[in-house]
Amino acid sequence: MTDPVAQKFRPQQVTRPRDQVEQQIREAILTGQFAQGEKLPAETELAQQFGVSRPTVREALGALVSAGLIRKSPGVAGGSFVNVVTPDSLSQMLKESMDTILRLGALDVGELTSVRRMLEVPAAEWAAKNRQDSHLDTLQAIVQKQRDTTINDPAIPSYDLAFHTTIGHASGNRLLAAFIAAVHDSTHPAQYLEVTEEVGRRTVKQHMAILRAIESGEAETARDAMASHLDYVLQYSLGIVRSE
Amino acid sequence: MTDPVAQKFRPQQVTRPRDQVEQQIREAILTGQFAQGEKLPAETELAQQFGVSRPTVREALGALVSAGLIRKSPGVAGGSFVNVVTPDSLSQMLKESMDTILRLGALDVGELTSVRRMLEVPAAEWAAKNRQDSHLDTLQAIVQKQRDTTINDPAIPSYDLAFHTTIGHASGNRLLAAFIAAVHDSTHPAQYLEVTEEVGRRTVKQHMAILRAIESGEAETARDAMASHLDYVLQYSLGIVRSE
DNA sequence: GATCAAACAATTGTCGTACAGATATCATAC
DNA sequence: GTATGATATCTGTACGACAATTGTTTGATC
C-alpha cells in the first residue's frame, strides 16, 4: 500500500513550550489579532490559556519586549501592551547594535562614515524634491538655534543630529530616515570632541546652504552642498580619531 | 555649611535586580572580561554571586540572548557562551526588524528598493577598487551556477542574494555589506515571484557585466553596470507588486 | 458636600525549590 | 575496539508564595 508519490516521513522538529508561546503571541500581534496599543491578557491568564506555567509565559513575553513588539508595566492598570512599531524603533535598535559592534572592534568609524555619506547625500537630493512645509519649519528652527548658540552649549551635537535626521524624514523615505538617524548617532562620539569655534561657524554656514537649496527645490545643489558638508565634517572627525 | 558649588542631591533611579544583573554582565562582555566564545558561570553560580534567585538571572540572560550577545545550550557541557559578534549578526537582526515593520505596514517595498540602490551602486564601485581574489573566485562560481541552472531551480533567489552580498563584502566595508545583505533579503519575497526565463537570462548577463568590470578594476563601469542592473530588476519587481 | 489620605485590588517582579529534559563523558559489556 | 547504557551536570519548566507598584475606591475630616 506504499504510495510511490507519498511524502517522506519528515518529523517536525520539536519546539520548546517557551518558543511556541512566543511564536503564537508574535504571530497574533503581526496579524493584527491584537491591535496596536492593546493590552494583552495578564500573565496568569495567558499561562492558563496556553497550559504552561507563568515563568514560561514570562520568558516568552520578555523576548517580545526585547524585540520591541510589546512593553510591560506593573501596577493595577499595568500589563503587556502592544507597541506601536515605527521605523523609529528600528532606528533605535540599529543604533544599539552598531554601538556594541563598534565597541567590540568589529567595525570602525571609517566604515560608518562612508555609509553615512552614501545615505545622506541622496537624502538631501530627495528632500529637495519632496520637501513639505513642516520639515522646512523644523529645519529653519534648528538652524536658527545653531546661529544663536554659543560654543559651550552642550546641546550642539543634538542640533546637528536633529538637522540631519530631519533631512532624512524630509526625503519621504522612512527607511532612509531610520538608517540616517542610527548611523549619524553612532558616529557622534567621535564628532563632538572639541568643536572649535571655527568649525562650528563653518558647519552652520554649510547647513544654511543645504537648507536654502532644499527650500528652493534645487535637488542637485542640495546634493552637492550636502556632499561637501560631509566631506568637511567627516574628514575633520576622522582626523580627530586618528590623532588620538 | 552649604557649599554653593555643591552638587544638587540627585537620587539615582532605583534599578530592578534583573536590570542590574543584565547591565553588569553586558558590561563585562563588552569590556572583554569575558572573552568571545568563553563560557559564563552556570546560572546557579551567577545567582549566588549576584545574591539573587536563579529566575532573575535567567531573565537577564534571556535578554542578552535576544540581544545576540550570548547563546545558551543545555546539557552537561552546556551553559551560556559569549557570542562572536560580527556585522553578520547585525545583518540578521536588521533583516528581522525590517520584516516585521514591513508586515505591519509602516514601510513599503518602494522605500526599501530606493535604499537598496543607494547602497549597492557605490558598493560595486568600491568592490572594483578593493576587490580581492577570494571574492572574485566566489563571484565567478556564483555566476557559473546561474548560467548552468534551469528556470525551475528553487535556489535561484539564493544565487542572486549571494551575488549581491558578495559584492558588499568585496567593497571592504563591513557595515555596508551587512546593510546590503539585510535590505536585499527583505526585498526578496517581491522579487522571485515568477521569474520568467527572459528575465533570468538578462539578469545573468547583467551580473556578468558587473563581474567583468569588477575584475578589471573599472570602478565607473562597475557602478554604471550595477545601476542599470538594479533599474531593470527593481522596476520589474515593483511592477509585480503593483500588478497584484 | 468637597477634599485629601489611607486602605484596597490587580498586575508585574522576585524568590525558593523541585523536577524534567538534554547532552557530553565515562564505564561497561560484547 | 566498538557500541551501548549509566551518569553527572547543566539548562528548561513547573508551582507556589510574597514583595513592589500603581490606579481606584472608600472613608474620614473639615
CA distance A239 to chain B (A): 19
Are B80 and B99 within 8 A, CB to CB?
Answer: no
The set of strand C positions with any atom below 7 Å of a protein CB reads 9-18, 21-25
Chain A residues within 8 A of B124 when measuring between CB atoms: none
Q: Is the CB of B59 under 7 A from strand C?
A: yes
d(CA A225, CA A204): 12
User: What is the full per-residue pLDDT of chain B (244 aa) written as tens digits?
Assistant: 555 555 555 556 667 788 899 999 999 999 999 988 889 998 999 999 999 999 999 999 999 999 999 999 888 887 899 998 889 989 999 999 999 999 888 998 889 989 999 999 999 999 999 988 999 999 999 999 988 887 677 778 888 899 999 999 999 999 999 999 999 988 875 555 566 778 788 889 999 999 999 999 999 999 999 999 999 887 776 655 444 4
Question: In Å, how far is B67's CA from the nearest CA of chain A?
Answer: 7
Residues facing residue B73 across a β-bridge: B79
CB B96 within 8 A of CB B102: no
C-alpha Rg value of chain A to the nearest Å:
24
Q: Which of A54, A118, A226 to mutate to test the interface with B (most CBs of B within 10 A)?
A: A118
Q: Which pLDDT value is given to residue B244?
A: 41
Sign, Cα dihedral of B162, A100, A93, B70: positive
Record: contact B98-A106, CB cut-off 8 A: no
For domain A17-82, the CATH class is mainly alpha
Residue showing cell 550577545: B69
Residues of chain A (49-68) having a beta carbon less than 7 angstroms from strand C: 54-55, 58
Cell of B163: 551575488
Neighbours of A68 (CB within 10 A): 17
Q: What is the pLDDT along chain A (244 residues), one digit of tens a residue?
A: 555 555 556 556 667 788 899 999 999 999 999 998 889 999 999 999 999 988 899 999 999 999 999 999 888 888 899 998 899 999 999 999 999 999 888 998 889 989 999 999 999 999 999 988 999 999 999 999 988 887 677 778 888 899 999 999 999 999 999 999 999 988 875 555 566 777 788 889 999 999 999 999 999 999 999 999 998 887 776 655 444 4
Strand partners, B151: none
The CA–CA distances, whole Å, from A233 to A6, A97, A189, B66, B212 equal 65, 24, 13, 35, 35
Q: How far apart are CA A244 and CA B173, in angstroms?
A: 23
Q: How far apart are CA B161 and CA B147, in angstroms?
A: 15
- Looking at the C1' of nucleotide D15, which residue has the nearest alpha carbon? A53
Confidence (pLDDT) at B3: 57
Q: Which residue is nearest to nucleotide D9 (CA to C1')?
A: B76
Burial of A58 (0-12, 13-18, 19+ CB in 10 A): buried
Residue A209, judged by CB atoms within 10 A of its CB (0-12, 13-18, 19+), counts as middle
Q: Where are the beta strands (DSSP E) in B26-100?
A: 70-73, 79-82
> Which residues in chain A are contacts of B59 at CB distance < 8 A?
58-59, 62
Q: What is the pLDDT of residue A243?
A: 44
| Third-level CATH fold of B88-237 | Four Helix Bundle (Hemerythrin (Met), subunit A) (1.20.120)
Distance between B83 CA and the closest CA of chain A, angstroms: 11
**Residue spans per domain, chain B:** 17-82, 88-237
pTM for this prediction: 0.88
